[in-house]
């Protein structure tokens, strides 16, 4: 049982360390968001492993809250980034030209 604890948590700690590196060095906002989401998944996995190996059912509500936090955070950041998408200047000129072109034809 102790070997399973050590092996599992060392693998999860290695993954968390790699996520922290990506969180600190990520060149874009999306890299940091993915790293933060992965970190929450690793925390949830750690809680699930602890609850399973130690037969501790009181950790399950905390696991549900962490999972919901990860989901809501991912969805809200995805919606925020989708709103940040800016059209290219050529597309804006094309749209404005077509509107004035219609007005001149009438």
Q: What is the pLDDT of residues 1-26, one digit of tens each?
A: 789 889 999 999 999 999 999 999 98
Instruction: Kindly report, residue by residue over 34-48, the tens digit of the pLDDT.
Output: 899 999 999 999 999
Of 3, 41, 1, give the one whose Cα is nearest residue 19.
41
Q: Can you give the pTM of this predicted structure?
A: 0.72
At residue 24, the 3 state secondary structure works out as helix
Q: Is the pLDDT of residue 86 over 80?
A: no
Give Cβ neighbours of residue 36 (< 8 Å, ≥ 6 apart): 19, 23, 73
Question: What is the DSSP code (8-state) at residue 57?
Answer: G
């Amino acid at each position: 049982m102790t070997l399973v604890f050590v092996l599992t948590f060392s693998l999860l700690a290695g993954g968390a360390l790699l996520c922290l590196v990506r969180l600190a060095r990520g060149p874009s906002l999306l890299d940091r968001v993915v790293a933060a989401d992965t970190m929450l998944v690793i925390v949830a996995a750690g809680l699930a492993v602890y609850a399973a190996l130690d037969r501790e059912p009181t950790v399950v509500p905390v696991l549900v809250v962490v999972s919901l936090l990860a989901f809501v955070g991912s969805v809200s950041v995805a919606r925020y980034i989708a709103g940040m998408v800016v059209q290219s200047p050529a597309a804006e000129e094309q749209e404005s030209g077509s509107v004035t072109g219609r007005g001149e034809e009438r």
